[in-house]
């Protein structure tokens, strides 16, 4: 049997039925060649000591044959083609027509008649890339202005998100240039320029990083490019540059992205140099609002026990911290301040000598006022973070709920909670949306009350 005639499944069956030396003898090859063939076909080999345990009468565990990398790639491409195949829905066609009309006004030939554009395969790759950016920036405006005859809402947004998902693999990846920060001349940039190919996979990854930064209230998230799938390569134009080591990082905040790199010399005495590119707004280069999942949050009028129960210990700890804070505050401000300092100093000298406990107590409470302010800020921050965790809402989200019999929709600006012995009240404040769907100037508040006895008794 020649080794080229072996299929992957046959080789897997052989290496787990007999030792490698017997297989090599049968195939007329060496043990090393059998190992290389297994590595090439990605067939797992028995671990060291496997055949000794078999001879001892044991039955070691035999792993399953995992899918081959090429098979996985074929399945991935097949799933991708199935996802982008098919016709546009009527709602998706309306927004697509509006985008193509806008491109024609700008002098871009869409290469296809709008009336005939019923299937996604009819759309040009370059046009698809520009359509995605137009949908990101203009979709809601088209709906609210009446250019597209729909009423903007969650269902419309979901449909557009599906349209974006289907167009992303089709769109030609754009090449973004990140210029180095600093003074820029008319004929050149301030320093090296980092070019990034804006693939669909990279955009999805960036959307995930932006979501992490927003959910965890981080200024930005750092992804080392040397350990990522999308790395950048550089060419040194001057020979001395070869004496440096570069470490580059992709930085993503909720709104922007940029690249930082640190250049250090082989000589450890020289400090590393930090360089950074200019920041690119994510909404200008990708449809991040439709890649980031659902932004609008619908909250029921009441808070269920299931939402609060996982945070019971944290809520009790917050109550205890507030009780201690109230005790310290009352003690600090209950000190009799009507007694002059000179009187306290005289009492200290007469009764206590150099120990001066009266003066020490007043000075200690004077210093603790600064700590009380800091503790109050920390408790308020914990209230906000705990309320965000329970409600699943963060600042910037669009929140909808029935309040006092009417549907209220606001853009959340602050989230907090207020606790009493019997109830916990969660409060979301922000600017209210008008009836036409635009954001107004009036500030409104949503409140959700939970009976804490339900959780505390269990």
pLDDT digits 0-9 by tens, 265-291: 666 666 777 888 889 999 888 888 888
| 222-to-74, 225, 258, 278, 350 alpha-carbon distances in Å | 32, 9, 10, 16, 64
For 88-125, the pLDDT digits (tens) are 778 888 888 888 888 888 877 655 554 444 555 567 78
How far apart (Å, rounded) are the C-alpha atoms in residues 397 and 411?
6
- Give the Cα separation of 341 and 336 in Å (integer): 11
Beta strands in 277-422 (DSSP E): 280-281, 296-298, 398-403, 406-419
* Angle (CA) 144 150 152, round 5°: 55
Give the pLDDT score at 58: 82
Task: Tell me whether strands 221-224 and 406-419 are parallel, antiparallel or unpaired.
Answer: unpaired
Domain boundaries, the chain: 8-68, 86-170, 176-279, 305-451
Cα(163)–Cα(123) distance, integer angstroms = 13
pTM of the predicted model as reported, rounded to 2 decimal places? 0.47
76 pLDDT tier (thresholds 50, 70, 90): low
118 Cβ contact partners less than 8 Å away, ≥ 6 residues apart: 87, 88, 93
* 357 or 165, higher pLDDT: 165
Over residues 8-25, mean pLDDT = 87
Q: Is the pLDDT of residue 178 over 50?
A: yes
């Amino acid at each position: 049997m020649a080794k080229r005639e072996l299929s992957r499944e046959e080789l897997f069956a052989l290496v787990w039925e007999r030792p490698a030396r017997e297989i090599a003898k049968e195939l007329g090859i060496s043990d090393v060649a059998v190992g290389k063939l297994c590595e090439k076909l990605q067939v797992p080999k028995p671990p060291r000591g496997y055949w000794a345990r078999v001879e001892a009468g044991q039955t070691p565990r035999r792993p399953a044959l995992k899918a081959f990398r090429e098979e996985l790639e074929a399945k991935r491409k097949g799933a991708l083609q199935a996802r982008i195949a098919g016709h546009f829905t009527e709602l998706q066609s309306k927004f697509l027509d509006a985008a193509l009309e806008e491109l024609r006004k700008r002098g871009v030939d869409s290469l296809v008649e709008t009336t005939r554009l019923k299937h996604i395969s009819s759309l040009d790759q370059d046009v698809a890339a520009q359509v995605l950016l137009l949908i990101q920036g203009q979709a809601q405006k088209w709906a609210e202005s009446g250019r597209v005859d729909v009423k903007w809402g969650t269902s419309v947004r979901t449909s557009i998100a599906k349209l974006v998902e289907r167009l992303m693999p089709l769109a030609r990846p754009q090449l973004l240039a990140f210029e180095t920060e600093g003074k820029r001349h008319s004929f050149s940039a301030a320093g090296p320029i980092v070019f990034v190919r804006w693939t669909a996979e990279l955009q999805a990854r960036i959307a995930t990083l932006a979501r992490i930064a927003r959910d965890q209230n981080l200024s930005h998230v750092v992804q080392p490019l040397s350990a990522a799938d999308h790395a950048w390569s550089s060419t040194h134009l001057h020979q001395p540059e070869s004496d440096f080591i570069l470490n580059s990082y992709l930085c993503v905040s909720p709104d922007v992205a940029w690249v930082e790199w640190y250049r250090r010399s082989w000589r450890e005495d020289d400090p590393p140099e930090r360089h950074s590119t200019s920041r690119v707004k994510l909404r200008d280069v990708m449809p991040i609002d439709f890649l980031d999942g659902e932004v609008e949050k619908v909250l029921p009028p009441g808070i269920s026990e299931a939402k609060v129960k996982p945070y019971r210990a944290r809520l009790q700890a917050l109550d205890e911290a507030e009780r201690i804070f109230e005790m310290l505050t009352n003690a600090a401000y209950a000190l009799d301040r009507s007694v002059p300092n000179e009187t306290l100093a005289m009492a200290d000298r007469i009764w206590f000598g150099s120990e001066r406990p009266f003066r020490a107590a007043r000075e200690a409470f004077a210093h603790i006022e600064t700590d009380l302010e800091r503790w109050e800020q920390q408790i308020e921050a914990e209230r906000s973070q705990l309320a965000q965790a329970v409600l699943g809402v963060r600042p910037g989200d669009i929140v909808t709920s029935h309040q006092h019999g009417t549907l209220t929709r606001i853009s959340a600006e602050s989230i907090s909670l207020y606790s009493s012995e019997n109830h916990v009240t969660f409060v979301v404040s922000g600017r209210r949306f008008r009836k036409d769907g635009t954001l107004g100037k009036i500030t409104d508040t949503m409140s959700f009350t939970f009976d804490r006895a339900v959780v505390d008794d269990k």
